[in-house]
A and B are shown apart, each in its own frame.
Chain A
C-alpha cells in the first residue's frame, strides 16, 4: 500500500524519495571499501552539494536555535569530552599563570563563551 494513504492531515507526508534523501544516504552512508579508484567525496568541490546538505543546514539550525540533537546521549558524549578537555586546559593555564606570578584571569570556559556568542548571533 502506498504511504500517502496513511495520512489524514495536510500537507501530505510522502513515501517518495527526494534527491536530498538519496544523496544523504548514498554519498554519506553505506559500507566503505577501498576500491581501485580512490574517490574522496569530501574533497570534491561540487560536493558543495554535500556541503550544502551538511554545513548550510547546520548553520541554519543554529541560526534558528534548533540544536536539540545536542541533548542526544550519543552526541552529548562528544561535548562532555570537550568540556573535560576545557577543564584540563584551564587548569594548565592557571598553573602556568601562577608559575609566572600572574593573577589568574576571570577565565570562562570556551564552552560558556561559545554559548554566549551563539546567543548573540541569534539575537
Chain B
C-alpha cells in the first residue's frame, strides 16, 4: 500500500530519502500528469481498511504517524512548492497514485501556484487569569471603584460589595480579552495575505494551564516571517504585564489555506 504525503511540481527532480512513516523506510516520488507525489510504502496490517480504525484510536500511534506526516511535508516544503494531503491518503498501488495526479492535475497545479513562495504561521494567545485580574484591579477604573467600595464597606453590606467587585472584574476581563484579540488579529492581518481563525486548542492537548483565547493562522510570503514575528514580539511586550502571552509557530506548509476537497471525483 502507498501512503501519499504531498504533491509537488513535476519540474522538481524526484528527491528520495526523506524519513517515512515506517521506521527505517524512506519516501520516493511518483511522477504523472506533470506533477510528483511524495509517497512511501506502508503495511497493510497498519494502514489497511481493517487495521486503520483501531490504530487511529491509539494515541501513541497517531502521534508518531501524524508527526511523521508533518516532517515529510515540511522537508518537502523546504525543497520547493508542496501541497500537503490530508492525513491517511492511501492507495493500493502506484497506478492509483498516478491516476490521482492525472485526474486532478489542474486543481493541484492551481493549489501549487497558490502556495509557491508562501508559508503559514500560527499565532496563539494564552492568558494567565490571575495576573490579568491583578492588572485590571490596578488599572481599570470600574474595577478599581468596586475595589475601593469593598474596602470602605463593613458588615453585611460587604457581601454585596464583594459581589459587585467580582462582577466588575469578570465583565472587564472578558471585555479586555476581546478588545485585545481583535486588536492583535487586525495587526497580524496587516502583515499577512490571508488569515484563518481557528478554535482554541483544548488543554488536554496543549498541557498548559492557561486559557487559550485566540488561535489563528496567517498566510505570508515566505520572506515576511520576520515581519509577523516583529508584531508578535511587540504584542508580547505590550501585554506581558497583563499575564497575556503570544506564541508564534512556523513556518508551516499553508495547511489552513489548502482545504480543497477533491473527494467527490474519485476514480471509477
Contacts and interface: CB of A to CB of B under 8 A. Distances in A.
Contacts of B111: 31
Contact of B202 (A38, A52, A65, A66): A52
A106 interface: no
B150 interface: no
B249 interface: yes
Contacts of B246: 13
A33 interface: yes
Query: Size class of B's contact patch?
Result: 35 or more
Contacts of A33: 4, 85-86, 89, 100, 104, 262-263, 266
A30 B199 contact: no
B197 interface: yes
A22 B52 contact: no
B52 A39 contact: yes
Contacts of A56: 202, 204
Given A25-B70, A60-B200, A60-B211, A16 B249 contact: yes
A93 interface: no
Contacts, number: 208
A66 B176 CA distance: 11
B70 A22 contact: yes
B57 A46 contact: yes
B64 to A, nearest CB: 10
Given A26-B86, A33-B4, A46-B56, 5 more contacts: A25-B255, A32-B89, A33-B86, A33-B100, A37-B48
Interface of A: 3, 6-11, 13-27, 29-39, 41, 44-47, 49, 52-54, 56-58, 60-61, 64-66, 68-69, 71-72, 74-75
Interface of B: 1, 4, 7, 47-49, 52-53, 56-59, 62-63, 66-67, 69-70, 83-92, 96, 100, 104, 108, 111, 122, 174, 177-178, 181-182, 197-206, 211-214, 229-230, 232-233, 236-237, 240, 245-250, 252, 255-256, 258-266
